[in-house]
Structure 1
Amino acid sequence: MRKLTFIGFLCVLLLVSCSQEKYPETSSETNKAGVVFKLQKEDYEGNGSRSSENETSLYDQLYYFIVDENGEKVKNIKSYYEASTSEIYTEGLHKGDYRLLVLGIKGNAAEDKAVIYTPERIQDEWLVFPEDLQKPLEAEYFYSQTPFSIIEEQTADGIKETASIPNEIAQKRIISRVDFDFSYHNPYVRNAVTDKNLSFGNVQFYTTLAGNGELSGESNGTLDPVSLNQKTSYFFMPVCSGSSLNGNITISTRNYRKEERRQVYGFEHTTLNGNHIHHIETTVTHPDDKDIVMFITPAAYNAGGHKAILQDDETKEVYTNPSLRKFNTAQPLQVSVTEEGKLHARFYSPRKLSNVLIKMQLPQVSSEYFDLAYFDSIPGFCDFYEEIPLIERSVMCRTESGKVIEISKKTAAELSGAVLKIESDDPFWAKLQEIKHGWNIYWGLYGGDPEKEDGGPVGNWMGIRPVHCRESVALFLNFTYMIDMPEHEQILRDNADQLYDDNKQPVKVEEVLQKMRMARTLQVGLVYPGNGVVGLGGGSTFGCYQQGWFEHYFNTYSCSIMFHELGHVMGYGHSSSFTYGPWAEKLMNNFYVKNIQDMPIDSKNYLNSAQNPHRYK
């Protein structure tokens, strides 16, 4: 009966006592001091991207034994394995020829139901997998067989024993790694894959490793399907003679029109060699290969490495430069074709926008718009640049009337006359579309320095930071949305008697609405509250202190500051109802807070600026 063991079996109990003994770094000779074997994992053969795998590395489990020239296990010797240095220490061997047999395991062998036996002879079974494992291996299994000799020499001090062994013992995997690779003609198809599944045909693997390194045994030929969505590399024992690794790869994709496709590709690999990486490549030929549409799934967006605007690490030279950072609240999503033929999408919004279709019209091609790009979602403050496929190749396009036309490859110059438009069924987009009277917004330092801890205050201003710029985007999207809300207009009409100018003369509701809806351009800044001033406004200037920017969603006092300064922007002074009067301090501030749930930016949680580490303390 074979004995099952899960520990190194050569004098394991000697580990504590022997671990204190000092053995030489070199293993060329011994004189009652012992022999040292240095183990080393070897990299996969033919690995194109070589790593540091061939450096000394720890195993999760290690087993070894020594046999004599007859293949019988040597007993009555002292030996142990030092995991920290990957060295085997042995003493007690005498003149003769030997072999050191080592089995190392990296990973969880229990997941593979591996059984480790205790061989008495070199040809005995050592490692055995079940015939019905029916799945790839989870762990890697390393093996080495190293001949060495102990010889005796007569010296003046007596008989000296010398060991002839390698400086390092290379441990090679008995298993192979199979990488399932995919190539696509269209990168947007690659990022539209929803599922990759691998099913196997009849495959027999070796199941048994003997002490001498020979493989035997045979699996039952059945393997359960595995997913290739997150993991595309798997470990297998070598296939038996006459068998092959074969099966089908099923790829499921979707496109921007919500259509799903399922394709099946067969494969066969005749050999699986130990310590090798085998590549099974599938070339995906897809009906959408020639489609122009840039289908930007989350995976495609992440793969593009696109940046974002108004982020905390953006320099003041960038975010205060109106040629680089400026937007109109009626057009927060800016799309264009660059001089290089790239699609550029920049979004001034704290919220993402979903299901965005961008259409193009090229006068030299057709009077119709055709689908150009589809975003599953556009992140808030995105800054997307990606080359239009039409620059690289001829494409197939779908027009608004439903026709499919082919357009030949174009130069960037030929795309300069392109006209773009945006469509989305996102309710958020519907709200943004209701902003009819947009204001132009950009940012200024007004002498402050955001790089200083106190904002480098100059007079009543300090250096605005991106965390405040983002909040101003939220505020002015909401404000310019609010001015066209029927409920807003009604509250003005219901309180018309509370609207008066600096001379206490009544102001008509129509005049108020006209001034609120007038096209304006504001340079937004951050007010320094140290002088007792919390807001500044008038003409093209607008500013508020930090608390106002962070709390305009819910704090009626903060809102009254915002509307006080907007009253100045509209041309009213402190004697009017639009600053220290009911318009700013009663009507508008309360309406804004009470109706925040109906605004485009309906929550502080999109930005959570009060918790931002880059705010002023």
Structure 2
Amino acid sequence: MRTKAYPLKKLMVFSFALLIAGCAKKEPVETGPTTPTYSFTGTSADELMFEDGEAMSVMTSESRRFDISKVLRVTAVNNTTIEVANFAPVDITDATILLSIAGQPQKIQLFHIGTIKGHRIKKMPYPFISGQSEYLDVNNVKADLSAYKVNGIKPADVSFEFTGTTAFIGKLKKLSIIKWQPKMHDFDPENLDNNWLDEPTAKQFRMLTGFMINFAYMYTDAAMKGRLVNELIVGNDGATPLTTAEKEADWIKAQTRTKINCGLTDTRKVSGLGGGSTFGIPDWLTLNYMTNSYSTPFHEMGHVLGYNHSSSMTYPQNNRGNVPVFMARQDEMNKAGDFPVRLDNYYQPGDIPSPKASATSALKMAGKVKECIE
């Protein structure tokens, strides 16, 4: 009997077709431009902020005022130069800087940051001045920036923002609703006998910047807002409860404060000082805020919002009011690791003191020390 051969013939034809396909010339696959990547990890003096030995005049200069909503800040210095700064005492990784140009329909993915270490600042030319001309916009459509290679872009025509998918960047993005503009201050440059600390240090300012970021973060917390709005809080007459509308308005007022001048108090005389744009807290608080809750900052924010000592927006009445609610929520958030600045990501671990067994109870009583500017 003859064996049928057609299955073998089919196999030979199929193999021949594959051979031809493999030998055929492949068309190149078109790819878009890649986003340039930079890291900012320098150690030169002009790249470090709040470093030991830095001049007080520099640490407290207006150029060191930053927006809480833009802890990772990019600004245009001139037509061809930008400045990249990280005002957090935490290394930021995997961030993308977006550039908006007047007249351009979409934001441009200008560059990617592999790492920018805590409290770093760096001036650099726009990447398109001496580098690539083509970039991707936020829709991954090619954008040609060659028109700006020679003369750059006027600072008034640009703005920047950052984006990313890391947990830390997610927390920083939540701060976009906060309008605070903190700046470090030496409120006692002549070292007079007053309520302010003589000679604040770079270490204290490093810790204080982290505290202000965490403090602001509490004003993005929906649970915190809900508890505060539902809390019994009396006004400046010491008796009349604030309405829900008044408490909600105070929440918005706290979020939208602008300039906040931050200083350190002399705890031999006062625990905190606050009112108007002044916000002063003690050094020991800046050293321990990542593990303990404290009354002082919430008390002082009560003054910043216009409340006096008769109001439970500053001092509790029968353990009710602004301060106990904030302290309880701060304890929860510390325990859960919710805050942006934490023990496990603070960039200079040597700044953080060893825990003391009796610290919590002692420091929570500090609100009983004379406080505030009214």
Counterpart of 2:213? 477
- The 2-side partners of 1:352 and 1:431 are apart by 14
- Other structure's SS at 2:106 match: coil
Counterpart of 2:90? 351
- The 2-side partners of 1:467 and 1:523 are apart by 17
Identity across matched positions, percent: 21
CA gap of 1:378–1:502, structure 2 versus 1, over 3 A, is farther
- The 2-side partners of 1:410 and 1:419 are apart by 18
Contact 1:296-1:375 at 8 Å conserved across structures: yes
CA gap of 1:427–1:376, structure 2 versus 1, over 3 A, is same
Is 1:439–2:173 an aligned residue pair? no
Could you list the per-position Cα deviations for residues 335-362 of structure 1 after superposition, in whole angstroms to 9, with x for gaps in the alignment? 1232161231111111222211113244
Which structure would you say has the larger RCO, counting Cα contacts within 8 Å and 6 or more residues apart?
Answer: 2
Contact 1:292-1:395 at 8 Å conserved across structures: no
Is 1:530–2:272 an aligned residue pair? no
Contact 1:352-1:380 at 8 Å conserved across structures: yes
Is 1:309–2:44 an aligned residue pair? no
Q: Displacement of 1:591 after TM fit?
A: 1.5
Contact 1:358-1:371 at 8 Å conserved across structures: yes
Contact 1:310-1:319 at 8 Å conserved across structures: yes
Counterpart among 321, 324, 327 of residue 61 in structure 2: 321
Matched ranges for 1:324-335 at <5 A: 324-335=63-74
Contact 1:448-1:458 at 8 Å conserved across structures: no
- The 2-side partners of 1:492 and 1:414 are apart by 46
The code of the aligned residue for 1:330 comes to S
Matched ranges for 1:44-443 at <5 A: 293-297=35-39, 301-302=41-42, 307-322=47-62, 324-339=63-78, 341-363=80-102, 366-392=104-130, 395-408=133-146, 410-416=149-155, 417-435=157-175, 436-443=177-184
Counterpart of 1:504? 239
Contact 1:339-1:412 at 8 Å conserved across structures: no
Residue ranges of structure 1 left out of the alignment (5+ in a row): 1-286, 450-455, 613-617
- Other structure's SS at 2:340 match: coil
Counterpart of 1:453? none
Contact 1:292-1:372 at 8 Å conserved across structures: no
Counterpart of 1:461? 196
Q: Displacement of 1:486 after TM fit?
A: 1.4
- The 1-side partners of 2:151 and 2:86 are apart by 23
Counterpart of 1:544? 281
How many residues matched? Answer: 311
- Other structure's SS at 1:335 match: strand
- The 2-side partners of 1:393 and 1:410 are apart by 9
Q: Displacement of 1:471 after TM fit?
A: 2.1
Q: Displacement of 1:368 after TM fit?
A: 3.0
Contact 1:448-1:461 at 8 Å conserved across structures: no
Q: Displacement of 1:552 after TM fit?
A: 2.1
- The 2-side partners of 1:303 and 1:294 are apart by 22
Could you list the per-position Cα deviations for residues 212-265 of structure 1 after superposition, in whole angstroms to 9, with x for gaps in the alignment? xxxxxxxxxxxxxxxxxxxxxxxxxxxxxxxxxxxxxxxxxxxxxxxxxxxxxx
- The 2-side partners of 1:502 and 1:475 are apart by 31
Counterpart of 1:154? none
Residue ranges of structure 2 left out of the alignment (5+ in a row): 1-29, 355-374
Could you list the per-position Cα deviations for residues 344-401 of structure 1 after superposition, in whole angstroms to 9, with x for gaps in the alignment? 111111122221111324446x433332211112222120222223222662322334
Contact 1:292-1:390 at 8 Å conserved across structures: no
Could you list the per-position Cα deviations for residues 85-117 of structure 1 after superposition, in whole angstroms to 9, with x for gaps in the alignment? xxxxxxxxxxxxxxxxxxxxxxxxxxxxxxxxx
- The 2-side partners of 1:396 and 1:546 are apart by 49
Q: Displacement of 1:565 after TM fit?
A: 1.4
Q: Displacement of 1:446 after TM fit?
A: 1.4
| More strand, by proportion | 1
CA gap of 1:601–1:303, structure 2 versus 1, over 3 A, is closer
| TM-score relative to the length of structure 1 | 0.46
Could you list the per-position Cα deviations for residues 13-37 of structure 1 after superposition, in whole angstroms to 9, with x for gaps in the alignment? xxxxxxxxxxxxxxxxxxxxxxxxx
| TM-score relative to the length of structure 2 | 0.74
- The 1-side partners of 2:57 and 2:310 are apart by 38
- The 2-side partners of 1:584 and 1:602 are apart by 24
